[in-house]
Amino acid sequence: MANLKTVSKKSKAQSMGMHTEVLTGRTQQKFFNPDEAENFYYFGTYDVDFNKRTELDVKEMTAPEANKEIDNLMSQGYGTIVIKNPQGKHSLGVGILNKLNLIFEGSLGYFGMGSCDGPIVRINGRVGWSCAENLMAGKVVIEKNAGSCFGAAIRGGDLICKGSVGARTGIDMKGGTIIIGGDAGAFTGFMMQRGRIIILGDVGINLGDSMYDGTIFVGGEIGSYGSDAVDSELTSSDQDWLKRKLKVAEIGENFDVSKMKKIVAGKKLWNYDNLEPTEKKGAI
């Protein structure tokens, strides 16, 4: 091993043998430079032009074929893609890690727009279970209703359903905002860890059950509170945020946000502040 005391700071890592591995595949030489944050793209994404628009009829396509064709169109620089005849197919639009205007003229089945990061999506129909699961960033707007597990485990972005949604909306969500124009089913916000859910209508039983953190705003009636979900004071800054968010979401234009209920975690179930036994031993 090199004498680390004598080598310069710059070459210390090399001297320790940390840069001798041969990188292959996606990670090769794709280092994140904070100075170029605005220009940072995932490997394999495309520089698209929003003004370059095209249509894609997926009636006779399988979901993998349709998704591959969306990728192909992005590679040609199309920044606005209109999908015709989705007809409730599952897994359409998944894994898009690109800026893109995507418009679905119809309804999606299960897992639509899952694991995406960046696209702006408008769905002029309904979506099935687990829409936009794991969304990282971007905006997904559904004009009609949505199935259960809407926005499961999202990390960021805005997910908006103008109609009603099924059970377990925002289950395990870790960030972002979910906005529901109508009603929501049972177990909304189940085990949510961060982020915000806004429901303008009624919500079913066990709201916010076992939530770790995050905030739920409800405009209508609540079926029942889940374990460790408690009421909190709706502040003026909450109201300002709600007004702004609903305006951007083009939803609930005349909705009186001052009457909304705010639900947060009671934080009696979680114990992150406690040290693990081994840590306690170390502390002593």
Partner 1 sequence: MCGIAGLIHRGKSSNVGSELQGMLQALKHRGEDSTGYALYGDTDGKNFIMRFKVGENVGEGSSSVMEDVSVYDERKKIVDQTLAEMGAKVVKEERTLPYSLRYEIDYDSKDLLDFSQRIESIPGVEILSMGKSLEVIKDLGNAKMVCDRYSLDKVVGTHAIGHARMATESGVDIKSAHPFWGYPFSDVSVVHNGQLTNYWNNRRVLENKGMRFMSECDSELIAVYIAEKMRHGATLEEGMKESLTGLDGVFTYFVATKDSLGMAKDTMAAKPLVLYESDDLVAMGSEEIAIRSVLPQEIDTYDPFDGEVKVWQI
CB of 92 to partner 1, least distance (A): 12
Residue 88 binding partner 1, by CB under 8 A: yes
Residue 156 binding partner 1, by CB under 8 A: no
Taking CB under 8 A as the binding criterion, the range among 4-12, 32-40, 73-81, 157-165 that sits at the site for partner 1 is: 157-165
Closer of 95 and 223 to partner 1 (Cβ) = 223
Interacting residues with partner 1 between 167 and 206 (CB under 8 A): 167-168, 183, 185-187, 204-205
Closer of 110 and 217 to partner 1 (Cβ) = 110
Interacting residues with partner 1 between 10 and 39 (CB under 8 A): none
CB of 129 to partner 1, least distance (A): 6
Q: Give me the residues paired with residue 251 across strands.
A: none
Closer of 168 and 245 to partner 1 (Cβ) = 168
Residue 145 binding partner 1, by CB under 8 A: yes
Residue 208 binding partner 1, by CB under 8 A: no
Taking CB under 8 A as the binding criterion, the range among 8-16, 21-29, 84-92, 257-265 that sits at the site for partner 1 is: 84-92
Q: Which residues are near partner 1 by CB under 8 A?
A: 87-90, 105-107, 109-110, 124-126, 128-129, 144-148, 163-168, 183, 185-187, 204-205
